[in-house]
Amino acid sequence: MSFFLSRLLARWVVNQGWMLPVLVVVFVFGTSWPLMALAEPAGSELVRAGNYWWYFVVTAATVGYGDYSPETTAGHFVGAYVIIGGIATLTTVFTKLASRLEQAKGRRMQGTEPVRATGHTVLIGYAAGRTERIVAQLLAEGVTGLVVCAGDEVALHPMPAQPVEFVRGEPTTADVLARAAVDRAATVLVDMGDDNEALAVAVTVDHASPAAHVVVTLRDMEKSELVRYVNPRIKCVQWHTPRMVTEELTSPGIAEVYAELMTTGGAGTYSVTLPASLGRLPAERCRLALGRAFGATILAARSAGDLVVNPAWDGDLPAGSTLYYVSPRRLTDVEIETALRAS
C-alpha cells in the first residue's frame, strides 16, 4: 500500500511547494490526537501533551521506539493512520528534494545557474582543449573559484568533473556577466575566437568590473593599443602562449615583463660561454660580479647539456658553462672575464 501511495504522491507533488508536507503533518497531528484520546483508556500516558508529540514523530517517521504505544484495537488503527500520514509526508519531502536537486544539476549543466562566488576567476570564451589546458594549469597553481563563461554554442558544461562553474550565454550582455558574477570577480580572462570579439567583450567587462585584473588574449598584439583606450590597466597577452596567459592571471604584470624582454630598447636576454681558463666558478661569484659591474641578472646556466634555471647561489658552474642573463646590452667576452677575475 505504501508503495502505491508513494507513486501517486510522487506524480502530484513534483511541482508543489513546501507548504504541502507542512499541511499534511498539521492535519494528521491535529486529527490523530483527539482520535487517539477517544480510543485509549482514560488516564493513558500516550495521549498526554508531553508524550503524544514524541509518539507522533517516531511513529510518523516509522522509527517506532516502542516507549509509547496504543493499548486498544482502535488505538492501533489510529497509529496506522499516523504511519500512513508519515509516509505521505516523507514522500512529499523527499520527492521535492530530489526534484530540486535534479533541477539544480540541470541548471548547472546548462549554465543557467547564477554564480554566488566572490573574488573568483572568470574565463570568458571556450575553445575545446585550450580552455581545459588553461584550467588545468590554474588548478595546478592552486587557483580556486574558477568560472567558465561560454557562448550559446556550448550547450552543456564542458568540464563537469572539474571544480569549475559554468555560465552559458552571450558574454557582451549584462545578464550573462551578472550570472558569472563578473562584478565580484578578482580576475577575468577574455579568451575569444578572434580579436574583434575580444575587444567587444573587454569593453563590456571593463564596464561591469573596472577594478578586476583583466587579461585579454590577442592574435595581433598591435591591437593592444585599442585595448589601452578602453582601460590602460587591462593586460594583453599573445593568444598563442597559454602558459603566459596563466602566468599573467596568477602573477599580474608578468606579461609586461616578458614583453619588455622581447622588445628592443629595453633589457634583453643574452647568453655567453664562460672562458675555460677560469675553471670552476661559484654561482654566487658570477651573480655578484656581473650584477655589480653591469647590472646583469643570471637567469640560467647550462653545463654538459643540462640546463638549470635560476642556479643555486651555493652551487658551482663547471668550466666552459653557458650563462643566460638579462642585461641592458650584450656583454663582451672580455668584459665578463675581466669582471670575474677581479671579483
pLDDT tens digit string along 110-153? 888 899 999 999 999 999 999 999 999 999 999 999 999 999 99
Q: Tell me what pLDDT residue 22 has.
A: 79
Residue 249 has pLDDT above 90, yes or no: yes
pLDDT of residue 239: 93
Range(s) within the chain of domains with CATH label 3.40.50.720? 121-261
Give the C-alpha separation, 334 to 278, whole Å. 12
Phi, psi of 42 (to 5 degrees): -60, 140
Superfamily of domain 268-342: Regulator of K+ conductance, C-terminal domain (3.30.70.1450)
pLDDT surpassing 70 at residue 263 = no
Q: What is the pLDDT of residues 4-63, one digit of tens each?
A: 545 554 554 444 566 777 787 788 888 888 888 888 888 888 888 888 888 888 887 777
**What distance in Å separates the CA atoms of residue 343 and residue 340, rounded to the nearest whole number?**
5
Q: Nearest 5°: CA angle at 297, between 294 and 301?
A: 120
Give the pLDDT score at 74.
87
pTM over the 0.85 mark? no
* Mean pLDDT, residues 77-97: 79
Residue 167, pLDDT above cutoff 60 = yes
CATH architecture of 2-109: Orthogonal Bundle (1.10)
**CA 196, CA 316: separation in Å to the nearest integer?**
51
CATH architecture assigned to 121-261: 3-Layer(aba) Sandwich (3.40)
pLDDT at 236 over 90: yes
Q: Give me the pLDDT at residue 282, please.
A: 93
- For the cut 80, the answer to whether the pLDDT of residue 158 exceeds it is yes
Q: What percent of the chain has pLDDT over 90?
A: 48
Q: Which three cell numbers stand for residue 323?
A: 650563462
Q: Are 42 and 127 in contact (CB under 8 A)?
A: no
CATH 3.30.70.1450 range(s) for the chain read: 268-342
Q: Which helix (H) or strand (E) holds 291?
A: helix 283-294
Which residues make up the CATH 1.10.287.70 domain(s) of the chain? 2-109
Strand partners, 271: 324
Higher-pLDDT residue of 284, 86: 284
pLDDT tens per residue across span 169-206: 999 999 999 999 999 999 999 999 999 999 999 999 99
Alpha-helical regions (H) of 40-72: 49-60
Chain-wide mean pLDDT for the chain? 86
